[in-house]
Amino acid sequence: GRGGVIARSNERLAATDGALATIGGALARAKELAIEGGNETLTATQRVGIAVEIRQLREAALAAANARASDGEYLFAGSLGAAEPFDPAGVYVGDASVRAIESSEGGSQIVTLDGTVLTAASGVDVFAAFDGLASRLEANDPAGVRASIGGLDTAIGQLAAARSEGGALSAALLV
């Protein structure tokens, strides 16, 4: 019944929030590493070591972006829930559709976020931010590393906004 639909929708939104929290944490760590890697006193070898960690953070974020709900569908795929929404390059291949459930007589409530919350459509391309930072570190470009911090800040804000949106959707289900 309707209660089961609401419970599944809340479960999906909770899983979405968990995935977004993982990605946000990876971005926050990447920013810390960018601050460290932008220090002029580091050697090229030290920057390459930091780049290795950035690439690991990116892979963890990509895995979270391709997380599945308990029903097996991909959380961020839009209406294309049977396929991974992000390809290995971090390109969004889902769609911008969101799902809604009937919430009241004739009313509906959105119960999903799509993967565009991680793309330039919402501010910056999160995976390009990781990739750009790693490339600048590997190129031993401390000024470029420092310049990447602004994009990471934008991405962190973007994730916080998406988490707020998901929280608002979840709260609306409880009304």
Nearest-CA neighbor of 16 among 152, 173, 164? 164
Q: Give the per-residue pLDDT at 48.
A: 98
| Centroid of chain to Cα 117 | 7
The shares of helix, strand and coil residues in the chain, as percent rounded to the nearest 5, are 60, 5, 30
Residue 22's CB: how many other CB atoms inside 10 A?
17
Q: Rounded distance, CA 31 to CA 50, Å?
A: 11
Cα–Cα–Cα angle for 14, 164, 147, nearest 5°?
Answer: 115
DSSP string covering 126-170: HHHHHHHHHHHHHTT-HHHHHHTHHHHHHHHHHHHHHHHHHHHHH
Q: Give the per-residue pLDDT at 105.
A: 67
Q: Give the per-residue pLDDT at 128.
A: 97
What does the pLDDT profile of the chain (175 residues) look like in tens digits? 677 888 888 999 999 999 999 999 999 999 999 999 999 999 999 999 999 999 999 999 999 999 999 999 999 999 888 999 999 999 999 998 888 888 766 778 888 999 999 999 999 999 999 999 999 999 999 999 999 999 999 999 999 999 999 999 998 887 6
Q: Give the per-residue pLDDT at 4.
A: 82
Contact 9, 111 (CB under 8 A): yes
Q: Rounded distance, CA 26 to CA 7, Å?
A: 29
